[in-house]
Structure 1
């Protein structure tokens, strides 16, 4: 998969941008706060209609603008796709592929796959479960349209149920809708658990060998997916998972009413990471947890390649400057093949890279 060109209008600090990229390495350099990360964010948005740093689309619209436009020309699956996203304040976003409006973000799956690695991801292991769920969700949404749709629906249902639990004491009539929300959440939750479990299974195969090579053979990485406590086999079909989720909801219903919080469901899932049999989050050194996080991202890239038979576009956002020379060298040697975008502050830092193109970003412009 290759991003041939990108056009931006009113996106973040870019008034207008038109750029054509190299099919191999694209080095984006410049001072801080000039727009390097914004450029990578726009590319990643075209793959899943999700931003790694904005909760709402309106946050990506320039401060003095009412709308933003992202347009990318992509080579994928032997075809050329023109993918567009139109964002506007106060209106629902619009997504297009080759001029045809898409019904939802799930229809972007398979057009452009990206793997984004930013400095915050180096703390993926040390952070709370929500960070690791976002990692899983971002990856699976690009591969499975049905998952993306179920995740969006689950999020809407969760917000509605949370409001019911918060306000039911003042408005008891709200409880009449609770069973309907529980059923629908269990149905969507069963899909989420099923797809997450199968993706983690593939991570369990791909990530440990990478981590072993990364550590010079001295460390063993292991991964465990944890979900709702009464589910013995998360790899089971959604049909088999549904009654288990409904049972768990029923047993926690009173606790939810008392606490006014949604306590049952896959919104509490986690991906546990161990190194040499010990919790990396609790006992891992900074170097070990960084290596584990890098291994997960590189494993995601290899899974995408195995799934689609094309390398995903790799986006490295100022992450190399956070690593020692050994880890830098490991990554640069491991990412041969496929298109790569790398941001950094100084062009000279990566002048050893061959077969690419360099772009200087200053004040939301390429110069």
Structure 2
């Protein structure tokens, strides 16, 4: 019979630690003296002080092997928001999270930090300086958001001080930075295909983009301050760069930094949203016979044409959170990390 290790405060697990945010989180945890177990479906790197466990998120036995001796778990595994695979989102974000919670309790884990999303309150309409007390979206704009709402509820409801299992959710928004496989590569692909000439709406809408190092900082602060007497228990926290920026200004800075032209022509927001909705419905109807993946989904159009930025006042008050890297420096560092995506490269 295997000996069960006693949980150590400096031993943690990162579920989804091979992904974009997960790897940055693992690197910072190791730098802070943690011993880290990574649980993921793949191993994308090697790092001293890190043990990799490969498996399915819904396999509790596989999870238990990764959680031996672990007192703290970061759960940041999720399919990319751009996917339209409802079954995959349900399996990973909801069913997988239930399994994670069961495994944590059985393994004696004391703290769980969830990577949630600010989109859990977004319905495609303007949000300005949104606080955490905004209600969950009643009409989630996509299945990613729908399952992230269910996931966050599961994790926060699982917080139990009497049983010694504490949970907190971090809600980042618009994560970007070096090694990002989504935002910058997708932007460049669209620019190369001639699809970044147009601005949706009047271009004045403010949004949050959050540098990955600041998101990691928020996760680690929450983990280290999560105690029975802490106000963090069972709560959600927005973590952003705290510098709302015009959506199209941000996109233009990244594009121009990589040698591409900034978008110049304006299209009415509701026209583009309506077209995106029609294409989405068409793709849904044709799915049994033909698989279509529209470039502009209703969610993408809503994100590009509305205000959506969030207050970090709760994180500042309860965690002393302050972004480590300002937005302009973050954009420069991100652009410099993609020499292979430069125009003509």
Normalising TM by the smaller chain, what interval? under 0.3
Tell me which structure has the larger Cα radius of gyration: 1
- Higher strand proportion (structure 1 or 2): 1
Task: Give me the TM-score of the superposition, normalised by structure 1.
Answer: 0.26
Task: Give me the TM-score of the superposition, normalised by structure 2.
Answer: 0.27
The structure showing larger relative contact order (alpha-carbon pairs under 8 Å, at least 6 residues apart) is 1
